Amino acid sequence: MKHWKSFFAATSIAVMSLGLVVPTTAAEEVAADPTCDVADTYCHNFAKAKEYYLELGNTEESFEALAQHLRVFTDFGLMARVMGDPEESAKLMAVLADPDAMHLMLRCMQEPAMWDTWVKQLTNPQAYIEMSLVAINPMTYIKWMASPVNADVYSALKPFVQSELYADWANKGTQVRFYEPTWSFMDPQWTVDRLAWTIDPKTYVNPFAWIIDTI
């Protein structure tokens, strides 16, 4: 019985230690350079997203700042760590409140390149490990329970009480181009390209390449 008590005590200490490390890692990764090693199977290429964002009249600098947050949607492990931290989650919500960011998200989520990334992430063992660590980390729940009295969370949500945000939405809402993602499917070629992705065997085989290589 003593051995079991020692085991549980050591496990608790280890998990509590993770609680001090994981949120910091999430914050550091969100602020990191959005580029990644092209040799990495799970690296997402933001070239098309950048093209779409610049078409809206934005600058490359503003895209680089946005791409730091878009990485969250291409890495399930990073997404879990951000969702496990109320302050980082609030920052992400504030970024996505921008109409151009929302337009870009709606447009990119219809791209096969993004679908490839999501399918690959479903076979990424590291992502599952990171999600599990967030789930068993007591600091995840402590931070969220304390979030109603965390001034940093409210500070991150400041854009929601600024008139500029709603003025921007009102302005962009009058532009026909803003609604383009909602009628993309009416283009026959758009539909053909996505059907081709759906029936292509490589779509479902490539994500498991790492297993085949390991065997």
* Whole-angstrom distance, CA of residue 139 vs CA of residue 85: 9
Return the structure tokens found at 188.
């026959």
Domain ranges of the chain: 20-30+38-214
| pLDDT tens by residue, 148-202 | 999 999 999 999 999 999 999 999 989 988 898 889 888 899 999 999 999 988 8
Tell me, yes or no, if the pTM score tops 0.85: no
Q: Which of 190, 187, 175 is nearest to 56 (CA)?
A: 175
| pLDDT tens by residue, 90-112 | 999 999 999 999 999 999 999 99
Question: What would the mean pLDDT of 25-43 be, rounded to a whole number?
Answer: 53
Nearest-10 crossing angle of helices 86-96, 138-146: 60
Q: Is 130 left (phi over 0), alpha (psi -120 to 50) or beta?
A: alpha
**In terms of C-beta density within 10 A (0-12 exposed, 13-18 middle, 19 or more buried), how is residue 161 classed?**
exposed
* Whole-angstrom distance, CA of residue 50 vs CA of residue 67: 8
**In terms of C-beta density within 10 A (0-12 exposed, 13-18 middle, 19 or more buried), how is residue 29 classed?**
middle
* Whole-angstrom distance, CA of residue 70 vs CA of residue 101: 9
* Whole-angstrom distance, CA of residue 42 vs CA of residue 207: 9
8-12, 40-44, 146-150, 153-157: the lowest-pLDDT one: 8-12
